[in-house]
Amino acid sequence: MIARIIATVYFYDVNTGWIQAIGWKEGSYAYRLLKTTDRGVFWDMRTHPWLSADAYIQFLDSTYGYRTGSNIPFFRTTDGGETWDLVTWYGYMVTFNMQFLTKEIGWISVDGPVLTTLTINTSDGGENWSDNFIFQCSDLSTYLCFVDTLNGWVVQWTCLNGGRAEIWNTSDGGSSWELQFTFSPPFYFKPKQIFFVDSLHGWVIGENGIILHTSNGGVIPVELISFNARVIEDMVILEWTTATETNNQGFEIYKKSEVKSQGSEWEKIGFVPGFGTTTEPRSYSFIDENITTGIYYFRLKQIDYNGTFSYSDIVKIEFNQLPTKFNVYQNYPNPFNPVTTIKYDIVKAQSVKVTIYDIIGREVATLVNEQQQPGSYEIKWDASNVSSGIYFYQLKTKDYVYTKKMILMK
């Protein structure tokens, strides 16, 4: 028989290997199992009543191996493939692939009920099998690879979202899986096999000559490809884009300022939720309305669901717009505990005094008492040393007196 199609090949070492081949014999196709012990120079042909075009072979040493496939049971050999013992029939007609780590522990991916595929596993050498995980809307192909008893990957084609290829990862032996990577149209990619040599280095083979490779276990970082700030009227708009995300809980936004009468420390001013795990570009924005004349710095703190985080580069904004009218804004936050911010605008150079009073009119603190130039100002009041209650802040110049109420709640 001349082999026309090689369905499966497995080499235990450089000399010893097995092939399931489809050949032409006596006017029809026939399936045969072939073995070599000299690197493939010569092949010995084995016949077997249970052979299939979709068969999978694996040997744990030169004598001990397993074989299964579509529409055939699970077989085991202890003599290098000379004879095969039927171990069990796990009940599924279509098999995608198989992997054993030890003589007892192994997994098989199979076609499950309508529009599903399953990973099933055994811990007793194939005597008994249990459903490991169900992949929905995926009855075309599911291929798996484990590097130890806990960590493994699955690549599959699913009909979800118009059809796409997905790579999943498990760290608990396949009991649960997390989506690690997706390939959506127009990048058409139907997977055919996945293989890892260790926990970091792996390959995926697909139709159309596509080969994917990872050197970090397939982990997708939160890849920030842009982060910008711009001024519109009296606001700063922050905009950023990610190329990929993994377990991205979201972004904390931090601001540091060089503003008259204000310090220069990083302050958290907001949070924007992330998209979790995605390989598609995502765009974000945040508006900061609490700005006055001065220089501002912004950065992002990206936080994973497991609590790890990283900071973005810093962007700088210089805001020079002068106010056109005198104004005193309501403090924020209000109510507060124990620090609040008071913002005001002046349109000409003059002496300015900002004073805090309690509810019966006693002076509690003087925050500003100086000559100031036209512009917008922010000042903070730390009320740690006073009791809860209603207070008033008063801004006084030669021409104006403004008083507003605020509430301290401890």
Instruction: Give pLDDT tens digits for 307-316.
Output: 778 889 899 9
CA 378 to chain centre: 39
Same domain, 345 and 402: yes
Q: Taking Cα atoms as reference points, which of 334, 396, 332 lies closest to residue 363?
A: 396
Specify whether 311 is located in the same domain as 339. no
* pTM of the predicted model as reported, rounded to 2 decimal places: 0.56
Q: What share of the chain is helix, strand, coil (3-state, %, to 5)?
A: 0, 60, 40
By percentage, how much of the chain surpasses pLDDT 70?
Answer: 90
Residues contacting 204, CB < 8 A, separation 6+:
155, 167, 191, 193, 194, 211, 212, 213
Please give the average per-residue pLDDT across 369-376, as a whole number. 87
Domain boundary among the residues 71, 89, 107 is at 89
Residue 261 clears pLDDT 50, i.e. is over it: no
Query: Residue 108 falls within a domain, yes or no?
Result: no
Average pLDDT over residues 89-110: 87
Top pLDDT among 221 and 152 is at: 152
Strands (E), 305-382: 309-311, 315-319, 327-328, 339-346, 350-358, 363-372, 375-382
Instruction: Identify whether 62 is part of a domain.
Output: yes
Domain of 288?
224-319
Same domain, 306 and 360: no
Confidence of residue 136 (pLDDT cuts 50, 70, 90): confident
Q: What is the CATH number of the domain that holds 341?
A: 2.60.40.1930
Half-sphere exposure of 206 (CA within 13 A, CB side): 21
Does residue 183 form part of some domain?
no
Domain count, the chain: 3
Q: Are 87 and 126 in contact (CB under 8 A)?
A: yes
Six-digit token string for 169:
């990862």
For residues 251 and 205, the answer to whether their CB atoms sit within 8 Å is no
User: Is 113 among the domain residues?
Assistant: no
Q: What is the C-alpha to C-alpha distance for residues 117 and 131, in angstroms, rounded to an integer?
A: 10
In a domain, 257, yes or no: yes
Mean pLDDT score of the chain: 85
Same domain, 245 and 274: yes
Which among 285, 406, 399, 280 has a CA at the least distance from the CA of 350? Answer: 399
Q: Are residues 382 and 402 in the same domain?
A: yes
pLDDT at 124: 94
Final residue in a domain of this structure, among 296, 319, 342: 319
Final residue of a domain: which of 268, 292, 319?
Answer: 319
**Pair of tokens at residue 48:** 């077997």
Angle at the Cα of 24 (from 19 to 29), degrees rounded to 5?
85
pLDDT at 234: 75
Q: What is the mean pLDDT of residues 238-256?
A: 92
CA–CA separation, 142 vs 156, rounded Å?
Answer: 4
Residue 189 covered by a domain: no
117 part of a folded domain = no
Question: Is residue 102 situated within a structural domain?
Answer: no
Give pLDDT tens digits for 13-67: 899 988 887 765 655 666 778 889 999 898 887 766 666 666 788 999 989 999 8
Buried b (16+ CB within 10 A) or exposed e, 83-109: ebeebbebebeebbbbbbeeeebbbbb
My answer on whether 333 and 311 are in the same domain is no
Torsion angle of the four alpha carbons 301, 305, 307, 308, in this order, in degrees rounded to the nearest 10: -60
Q: Number of C-alpha atoms within 13 angstroms, CB side, residue 327?
A: 14
**Torsional sign, CA 328, 329, 335, 340:** negative
Q: Give the residue-averaged pLDDT of 69-76.
A: 85
Domain identity same for 40 and 70 = yes
Q: CA-to-CA distance for 257 and 316, rounded, in angstroms?
A: 10
Tell me, what CATH number does 242's domain have?
2.60.40.10
Distance CA 191, CA 141 (A): 7
pLDDT bucket at 1, cuts 50 / 70 / 90: very low
Q: What is the mean pLDDT of residues 189-205?
A: 89
